[in-house]
Every structure is written in C-alpha cells, then in structure tokens.
C-alpha cells in the first residue's frame, strides 16, 4: 500500500462524481426532448445515469477476480443511497412525498431484493439469472414510460424546455461514459490495493469505500433536486437507482461472468439492505403529503454509521 493507491481512489471518486453529473444532465435533457415526467426521469434516465458508476465498477471488479467488490459495491450502494444519501439530504432539506404511486416503485425495489435472495441461495448469480434481471429492468422502464405518458396526456401537462440540443446532450453522455470507465477502473484498483494493505476483506472495502464512491452522484443529484423542489426526482432517483443496481448492474455483470457471492453478503449485508428499505417506506407514510423530516434523516444517517461500524468490527 502506498501513496499511489490513495491517489487512484481519490481521482476515481472525482471522475465518478463529475461524469455522473454530466450523464445525469445529458439524460434529463434527453428525457425532456421525449416528454417524460420528472418522476420517470428520476426512476429511469437519472437513476441509470447515477447507477452507471456501479456498473463500471462491478464489471471491472469481476474481471479482475474481485467478486466481493462487485456484489459489495451494489449492496453497499443500495444501503448508502437510502440511509446515507436520503438521510443527509433530508437533514438539509426535508423531503415531501407528493405521489402515492411511489409505492409501486418501492414494491418493485423490494421485489428485486427478494428475487436476489432467491437467486443467491446457492451463493452464485448465474448467467440465466442475469438475463432474467436485464429483461425485468427493460420491462420496468417500458412500463414506467408508458404510465407517465398516459398520465401526462390526461393532465395535458407542459414539459420544461431542454437546455441542450439533442446532439449536445448525446455528446455529454458519451464523454461522461468514457470518464466513468476510467474512474471505475482507477477506483477498483486503488481500493483493492488498500484492502490488501489494511488487512481487511474486499467485501468490506466494496461495501464501504467503493460503495460510497459510486453513490456520490446520487448524493449530488438528490441534493440538487431537493433544493430545486423536485422532490419526485430526489426520491425517485434513489429508489430507481436501487432497482437499477440489482436488475441492470448485477444482471449485466452476471451475463458477462457468473458472480460468486460471499455468504456474509447474503446473511448480513442484504438483510441490512432490506431493513433500510422497509424504514424508507415507513418514513414516507402517508404516501401523499408525507414528509421525510430532519429527525428521520438523522435516524437514517445514524443507521448508516452504525452499519459501517458493525462492518469493520465484525
């Protein structure tokens, strides 16, 4: 372990943060060109954009024989997205829940968790299971867009004008993807070296350091959306990112190479992930005019701190 490992992790973080934001900006403008709602933009395009770092990190990790970083990155990111990101955003700016339909997306997220538990009963996420995940995410995207356009047509909704031309939005997305690739590669390399130097498992590094790094775009996006009073994007981005992390990230990774999963991930980390998701639902009730208040944000943040403490001492 030397200075280069820390430098790789730092540069990887910065690249993931900047390029994640560029990908979100380009994606949101593309969604405006095609007239989909902020909620669907948050659940699909923005969620995929902020989940892109997890995809690059997970694929890179599995091909460098670090499967625990791959799965730990996804599970850790899902925990961080709710407990750390939403918790921190709610402390700064309490989040108002506007749409009861958010329950549908929460149910999809829980379904993805339960299916992951089922697929990992033998400790291996296989190619066919990865294909099933990818098919499900496509079905989810199609349904979300169809439902949004149907509701918008009924309400005769006016959409904001895009700030970028289509060609510029596409260019921004392509530049962001290239930056995300290198950011992920450097982050995984640096984190793997740190794991060896600290004498801790790749699972712990994946769930803590790497997961936090790949969750940085969600933090930036959700905070910016909350400050602009785009609550649907803020909450929808988190739930959508968690769905994408399971269905698309693990799905694509398993298609490329079957993913061997540590038993500790299933018996401990995924349980924490599910508990945090249930807390999110309880904190959003009622699902119209509900508020994720500052004290709820503090509670979520304390849960995350407790989990990280448990991770390093267990």
State the average pLDDT over residues 273-282. 95
Residues in a beta bridge with 292: 95
Q: Quick one: pLDDT at residue 306?
A: 93
pTM score > 0.85 for this model?
A: no
- Nearest-angstrom CA–CA distance, 2 and 11: 15
Q: Quick one: pLDDT at residue 46?
A: 66
User: How far from chain centre, in Å, is Cα 96?
Assistant: 21
Q: Quick one: pLDDT at residue 108?
A: 94
- Opening angle at CA 247, ends 241 and 250, nearest 5: 100
Q: Quick one: pLDDT at residue 216?
A: 72
φ/ψ of 259, rounded to 5, equals: -105, 115
- Nearest-angstrom CA–CA distance, 275 and 294: 20
Q: Quick one: pLDDT at residue 44?
A: 66
CA dist list (Å): 65 to 61, 130, 202, 258, 271 = 6, 18, 11, 11, 25
Torsion-angle region of 65 (φ positive above 0: left; ψ -120 to 50: alpha; else: beta)? left
In terms of Cβ atoms closer than 10 Å to its own Cβ (0-12, 13-18, 19+), residue 243 is: buried
Q: Quick one: pLDDT at residue 282?
A: 93
pLDDT range class, residue 300, cuts 50, 70, 90? very high
- Opening angle at CA 33, ends 98 and 89, nearest 5: 35
φ/ψ of 260, rounded to 5, equals: -80, 130
- What ranges make up the beta strands (E) of the chain? 95-97, 124-125, 259-260, 290-292
Residue 155: pLDDT over 60: no
Does residue 76 or residue 40 have the better pLDDT? 76
**Contact yes or no for 84/209 (Cβ under 8 A):** no
Percent of the chain residues past pLDDT 70, beyond the cut: 86
pLDDT tens-digit map of 257-272: 888 888 888 888 999 9
Residues in a beta bridge with 96: 291
Task: Kindly state the tokens that stand for 46.
Answer: 């923005």
Residue 157: pLDDT over 60: no
Residue 297: pLDDT over 70: yes
Pairing of strands 95-97, 259-260: unpaired
Domains, the chain, with CATH or none: 3-153+164-313 (1.20.1420.30)
Q: Quick one: pLDDT at residue 159?
A: 62
pLDDT tens-digit map of 67-93: 788 888 899 989 999 999 899 888 988
Q: Quick one: pLDDT at residue 41?
A: 65
Task: Kindly state the tokens that stand for 33.
Answer: 């060109």
Residue 247: pLDDT over 90: yes
């Amino acid at each position: 372990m030397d200075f280069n490992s820390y430098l790789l992790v730092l540069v990887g973080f910065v690249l993931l943060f900047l390029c994640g934001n560029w990908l979100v900006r380009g994606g949101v403008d593309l969604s405006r060109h095609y007239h989909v709602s902020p909620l669907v933009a948050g659940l699909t395009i923005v969620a995929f954009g902020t989940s892109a770092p997890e995809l690059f990190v997970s694929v890179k990790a599995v091909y460098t024989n670090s499967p625990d970083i791959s799965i730990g990155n996804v599970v850790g990111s899902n925990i961080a997205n709710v407990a750390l990101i939403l918790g921190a955003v709610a402390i700064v700016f309490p989040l108002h829940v506007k749409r009861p339909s958010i329950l549908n997306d929460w149910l999809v997220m829980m379904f993805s968790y339960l299916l992951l538990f089922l697929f990992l009963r033998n400790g291996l996420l296989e190619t066919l299971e990865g294909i099933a995940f990818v098919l499900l995410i496509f079905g989810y995207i199609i349904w979300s867009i169809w439902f949004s356009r149907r509701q918008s047509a009924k309400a005769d909704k006016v959409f904001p004008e895009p700030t970028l031309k289509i060609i510029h939005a596409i260019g921004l997305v392509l530049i962001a993807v290239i930056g995300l690739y290198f950011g992920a590669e450097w982050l995984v390399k640096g984190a793997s070296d740190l794991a060896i130097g600290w004498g801790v498992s790749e699972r712990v590094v994946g769930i803590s350091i790497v997961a936090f790094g790949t969750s940085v775009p969600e933090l930036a996006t959700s905070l910016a959306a909350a400050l602009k009073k785009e609550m649907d994007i803020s909450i929808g981005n988190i739930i959508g990112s968690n769905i994408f992390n399971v269905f698309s990230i693990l799905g694509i990774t398993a298609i490329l190479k079957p993913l061997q999963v540590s038993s500790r991930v299933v018996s401990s980390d995924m349980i924490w992930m599910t508990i945090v998701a249930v807390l999110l639902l309880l904190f959003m009730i009622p699902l119209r005019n509900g508020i994720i208040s500052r004290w709820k944000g503090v509670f979520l943040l304390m849960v995350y701190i407790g989990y990280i403490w448990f991770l390093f001492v267990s």
